[in-house]
């Protein structure tokens, strides 16, 4: 036994000896490789993008003209311009030998305008008691005015601007929904757009008294993040691509990004008090933050080279962004409104304002921008112009009955490419909020005192990952990105089997069907017609009416009416803005 152990020890010693010697030889080589790796990590080569960056002299986006572009005189067959928008569009159509689509019917216009301006479908009562009672030649203009005066206007457009400002309900150091409430108040008051942009950019103080400071607290007063948001949202450019190196596809450089970020130098978020709270048994030290800005510390340089008498801090930035001679601000704003209403921007993509990406209708873009400025940056004025134009009131380029069931984001983008001349309205999917809130409107649940049926404006954003709103395209708002408009199996299953729709269609005392049957004394045929108007904003065809009546012939039980409404809410027609 001892001899065996002795031999084993000898083997172990011989095994250790070459290992030790190998380490002595290899260690210098390992050290060299480690040193080389660290050298590469510390000093990586800076990409130049010489092959992709534009060649030649640098070009800038042209400034707005000194005078508003003249409106061209033009006519084409039965197409009569309703306002200057149509003159510009029709001129381009004639040049490209295209004809506009005919005017949509009153039902389609009522639904389209309501969804675009309020984010919900109109009710059967809205249509019967107001819209259709007005004179035909006054009906559409009055309808637009009525919609823009509703509370839901501010609700719907708060979500729109909330996406662009990456609004979040829970911002560290600020009251819940501080930024959302600020945006909503601005829209409700119809505050001039340039004013509330300046208020956010130059904000200082505590969010309890100055809710606009939540815009800065959203990014923790981080100069780089705020620069990305400001340049993309208000100036329509992807400057974030120049954050670490020169822009790979445009003239913007890293030095210019740093110059814009330097406006925020001296701006910081700091705690002015702390509060101890307990969550799930854990003690949390919760800070209350305020924004402080030392304007003399700002060293910003604006992209276009202009300067401000407000200095080089955040006040100077707010002035330079919103000034009339800024070639981007007004154009970007009206382009965003146009894209929201029409489905494709005059500049497309809407976040690529560059000499390399020219507008489809440059004179119209400039005319709208200068109209916006002349009317004191009134957002409602531009929306009213668009909604009252013949261009907006055309029929859609694709019929609902011919929509492919496998419609994808790729096919949606193909439609957009075909719609760039605006010779017809694009068939657009409803947004997540539009579908959600329209289900509540159709079933009499909107603004009901029930937590199961909370309108989207009352949801703290971003919505929960598995919620209805996230399933239909709401983003997490961590980055500024357009929503995915393509449908999918998750959306189809949510409408078929989801709790929201199945709970919403159940009969209750405020359900419109109950009202029609018990208060208005509608018979079955009248109730079917009212239900189609309530859900699809049109009367049923003879075939649809007959099918519905046959389905209900087995009995007038509540469950039969619930099933009929469930079926209508699951049609593709309900999910599109036609």
User: What does the pLDDT average to over 50-59?
Assistant: 70
User: What does the pLDDT average to over 406-422?
Assistant: 55
pLDDT of residue 356: 82
Q: Look at 9-23, 231-245, 290-304 and tell me which has the smallest mean pLDDT.
A: 9-23
Most trustworthy range by pLDDT among 267-281, 320-334, 470-484: 320-334
424-457 confidence digits (pLDDT tens)? 999 999 999 999 999 999 999 998 777 889 999 9
52-60 contacts at long range (C-beta below 8 A, 24 or more positions apart): 52/248, 52/249, 53/246, 53/247, 53/248, 53/249, 53/250, 53/251, 54/249, 54/250, 54/251, 54/356, 58/251, 59/251, 59/355, 59/356, 60/304, 60/327, 60/355
pLDDT beyond 70 at 56: no
Count structural domains, the chain: 3
pLDDT beyond 80 at 460: yes
Q: Is the residue at 195 inside a domain?
A: yes
pLDDT beyond 80 at 405: no
166-192 confidence digits (pLDDT tens)? 999 999 999 999 999 999 999 999 999
pLDDT beyond 80 at 408: no
pLDDT confidence tier of residue 5, bands split at 50, 70 and 90: very low
More confidently predicted of 146 and 355: 146
Beta strand spans in 346-426 (E)? none
pLDDT confidence tier of residue 399, bands split at 50, 70 and 90: low
Q: Give the residue among 125, 128, 122 at the shortest CA–CA distance from 110.
A: 122
Domain residues for the domain of 14 are 1-44
Residues 573 and 447 in one domain: yes
Q: Which residues, at least 6 apart from 345, have a Cβ–Cβ distance to it below 8 Å?
A: 335, 336, 338, 339
pLDDT of residue 38: 45
pLDDT beyond 80 at 205: yes
228-267 confidence digits (pLDDT tens)? 999 999 999 988 777 776 777 666 788 889 999 999 999 9
Q: Look at 276-280, 385-389, 421-425 and tell me which has the smallest mean pLDDT.
A: 276-280
Q: Is the residue at 403 inside a domain?
A: no
pLDDT of residue 59: 73
* Ranges of H-type helices in 170-242: 178-188, 193-201, 214-217, 223-235
Q: Give the residue among 310, 389, 468, 495 at the shortest CA–CA distance from 144.
A: 389
Q: Is the residue at 540 inside a domain?
A: yes
Cβ 147 vs Cβ 118: under 8 Å: yes
pLDDT of residue 54: 72
pLDDT beyond 80 at 20: no
pLDDT of residue 355: 83
57-80 confidence digits (pLDDT tens)? 777 778 899 999 999 999 887 678
Q: What is the mean pLDDT of the chain?
A: 87
Cβ 171 vs Cβ 217: under 8 Å: yes
Judged by DSSP in three states, 67 sits in coil
pLDDT of residue 506: 94
Q: Is the residue at 192 inside a domain?
A: yes
Residues 331 and 443 in one domain: no
Of 316, 335, 354, which closes a domain? 335
Q: Is the residue at 513 inside a domain?
A: yes
Residues 39 and 160 in one domain: no
pLDDT confidence tier of residue 22, bands split at 50, 70 and 90: very low
pLDDT confidence tier of residue 401, bands split at 50, 70 and 90: low
Burial annotation 108-118 (CB, 10 A radius, 16+ → b, else e): bbbbbbbbbbb
pLDDT of residue 109: 98
- Model-level pTM? 0.88
CA distance 199 to 192: 11
Of 335, 361, 387, which closes a domain? 335
Task: Put residue 295 in one of left, alpha, beta given phi > 0 → left and psi -120 to 50 → alpha.
Answer: alpha
More confidently predicted of 3 and 379: 379
Q: Is the residue at 343 inside a domain?
A: no
Residues 322 and 462 in one domain: no
CA distance 101 to 424: 5
Residues 454 and 328 in one domain: no
pLDDT of residue 62: 85
Distance from the Cα of residue 294 to its chain's centroid: 33
Q: Is the residue at 245 inside a domain?
A: yes
Of 291, 313, 335, which closes a domain? 335
150-173 confidence digits (pLDDT tens)? 999 999 999 999 999 999 999 999
Neighbours of 535 (CB within 10 A): 24
Q: Half-sphere exposure (CA, 13 Å, Cβ side) for 569? A: 30
pLDDT confidence tier of residue 339, bands split at 50, 70 and 90: very high
354 DSSP 8-state letter: B
pLDDT of residue 278: 76
CA distance 313 to 298: 4
Q: Is the residue at 247 inside a domain?
A: yes
User: What does the pLDDT average to over 304-325?
Assistant: 96
Residues 189 and 329 in one domain: yes
Q: Give the residue among 502, 493, 550, 561 at the shortest CA–CA distance from 527.
A: 561
pLDDT > 70 in the chain, percent: 85
pLDDT of residue 301: 94
Cβ 326 vs Cβ 308: under 8 Å: no
Cβ 463 vs Cβ 476: under 8 Å: no
């Amino acid at each position: 036994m001892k001899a065996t152990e002795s031999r084993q020890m000898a083997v172990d010693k011989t095994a250790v000896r070459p290992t030790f010697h190998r380490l002595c030889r290899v260690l210098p080589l390992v050290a060299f490789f480690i040193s080389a790796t660290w050298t590469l990590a510390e000093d990586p080569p800076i990409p130049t993008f010489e092959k992709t960056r534009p060649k030649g002299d640098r070009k800038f986006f042209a400034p707005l003209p000194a005078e508003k572009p003249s409106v061209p005189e033009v006519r084409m067959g039965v197409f009569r311009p309703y306002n200057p928008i149509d003159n510009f569009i029709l001129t381009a159509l004639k040049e490209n030998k295209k004809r506009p689509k005919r005017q949509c019917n009153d039902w389609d216009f009522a639904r389209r305008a309501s969804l675009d301006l309020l984010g919900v479908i109109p009710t059967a009562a809205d249509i019967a008691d107001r819209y259709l009672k007005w004179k035909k030649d006054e009906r559409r203009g009055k309808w637009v005015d009525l919609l823009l005066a509703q509370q839901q206007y501010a609700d719907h457009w708060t979500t729109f601007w909330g996406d662009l400002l990456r609004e979040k309900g829970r911002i560290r150091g600020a009251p819940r929904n501080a930024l959302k409430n600020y945006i909503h108040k601005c829209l409700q008051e119809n505050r001039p757009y340039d004013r509330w942009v300046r208020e956010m950019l130059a904000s200082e103080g505590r969010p309890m008294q100055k809710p606009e400071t939540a815009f800065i607290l959203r990014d923790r007063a981080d100069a780089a993040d705020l620069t990305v948001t400001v340049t993309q949202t208000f100036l329509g450019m992807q400057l974030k691509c120049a954050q670490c190196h020169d822009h790979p596809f445009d003239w913007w450089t890293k030095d210019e990004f740093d110059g814009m970020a330097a406006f925020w130098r001296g701006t910081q978020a700091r705690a002015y008090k702390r509060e101890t709270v307990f969550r799930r048994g854990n003690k949390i030290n919760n800070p209350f933050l305020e924004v402080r800005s030392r304007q003399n510390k700002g060293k910003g340089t604006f992209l276009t080279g202009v300067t401000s008498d407000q200095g080089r801090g955040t006040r100077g930035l707010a002035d330079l962004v919103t000034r009339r001679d800024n070639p981007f601000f007004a154009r970007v704003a009206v382009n965003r409104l146009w894209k929201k209403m029409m489905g494709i921007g005059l500049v497309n993509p809407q976040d690529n304002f560059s000499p390399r990406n020219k507008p489809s209708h440059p004179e119209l873009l400039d005319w709208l921008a200068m109209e916006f400025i002349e009317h004191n940056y009134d957002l409602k004025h531009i929306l009213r112009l668009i909604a009252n134009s013949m261009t907006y009131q055309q029929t859609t380029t694709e019929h609902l009955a011919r929509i492919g069931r496998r419609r994808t984001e790729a096919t949606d983008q193909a439609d957009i490419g075909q719609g760039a001349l605006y010779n017809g309205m694009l068939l657009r999917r409803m947004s997540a909020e539009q579908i959600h809130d329209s289900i509540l409107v159709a079933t009499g649940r909107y603004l009901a005192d029930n937590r199961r049926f909370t309108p989207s404006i009352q949801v703290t954003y971003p919505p929960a990952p598995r919620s209805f709103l996230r399933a239909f395209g709401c983003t997490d708002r961590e980055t500024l990105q357009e929503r995915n408009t393509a449908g999918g199996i998750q959306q189809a299953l949510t409408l078929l089997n989801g709790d929201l729709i199945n709970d919403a269609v159940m009969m209750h005392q405020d359900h419109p069907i109950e009202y029609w049957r018990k208060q208005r004394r509608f018979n079955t045929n009248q109730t079917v017609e009212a239900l189609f108007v309530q859900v699809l904003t049109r009367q049923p065809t003879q075939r649809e009416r007959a099918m519905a009546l046959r389905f209900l012939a087995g009995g007038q039980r509540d469950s039969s009416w619930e099933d009929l409404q469930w079926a209508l809410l699951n049609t593709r027609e309900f999910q599109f803005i036609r």
